[in-house]
């Protein structure tokens, strides 16, 4: 793992949200490993709406890495699949929005939106209830 790279999280039980912050330079595989480790520390991580703040991070995650993340979360959740949750990705990378539009199907259990600020992400979560199962 590159020096200075870290992933931290906190849970907002009141709003049923998992807030993950990624900082530093990273390689895609190391990021996914760290996220899988974080999810492994949390009871039922798939049951939360998630905010992933990547603004202080610098790196690129490949499609195989993203597929591995989706598979790991699906395996943790088990069967039958849990209801869909929302993921608000906060990023300064202008390519993240088009990338996510192209890969949204591998995260079939999530509604994903990309934002430039935490305020925008939280407003989306507060004002747009998840779609019914």
Q: pLDDT tens digits, the chain, 133 residues: what are they?
A: 556 899 999 999 999 999 999 999 999 999 999 999 999 999 988 889 999 999 999 998 888 888 888 888 888 887 776 777 888 999 887 666 666 655 655 555 457 888 999 999 999 999 876 655 4
**CA trace torsion 112, 113, 116, 121 (10° rounding):** -90
User: DSSP label at 60?
Assistant: E
End-to-end CA distance of the chain: 38
Residues whose CB is less than 8 angstroms from the CB of residue 126 and which lie 6 or more positions away in sequence, other chains included: 15
Model's pTM, two decimal places? 0.83
pLDDT reported for residue 109: 47
The angle subtended at Cα 27 by Cα 25 and Cα 32, nearest 5°, is 115
Q: What percent of the chain has pLDDT over 70?
A: 80
Reported as half-sphere exposure (CB side, CA atoms, 13 A), residue 58 has a value of: 5
User: What are the tokens at 41?
Assistant: 């520390």
User: Who's near 15: CB < 8 A, 6+ residues apart?
Assistant: 49, 125, 126
Tens-digit pLDDT profile for residues 48-76: 999 999 999 999 888 888 888 888 888 88
């Amino acid at each position: 793992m590159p020096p200075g790279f870290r992933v931290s999280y906190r849970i907002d039980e009141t709003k049923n949200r998992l807030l993950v912050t990624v900082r530093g330079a990273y390689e895609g595989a190391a990021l996914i490993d760290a996220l899988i480790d974080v999810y492994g520390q949390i009871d039922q991580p798939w049951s939360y709406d998630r905010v992933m703040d990547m603004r202080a991070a610098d790196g690129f995650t490949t499609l195989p890495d993203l597929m591995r993340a989706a598979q790991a979360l699906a395996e943790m959740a088990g069967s039958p699949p849990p209801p869909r949750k929302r993921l608000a990705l906060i990023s300064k990378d202008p390519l993240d929005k088009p990338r996510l539009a192209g890969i949204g199907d591998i995260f079939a259990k999530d509604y994903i939106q990309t934002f430039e600020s935490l305020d925008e992400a939280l407003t989306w979560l507060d004002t747009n209830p998840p779609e019914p199962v």
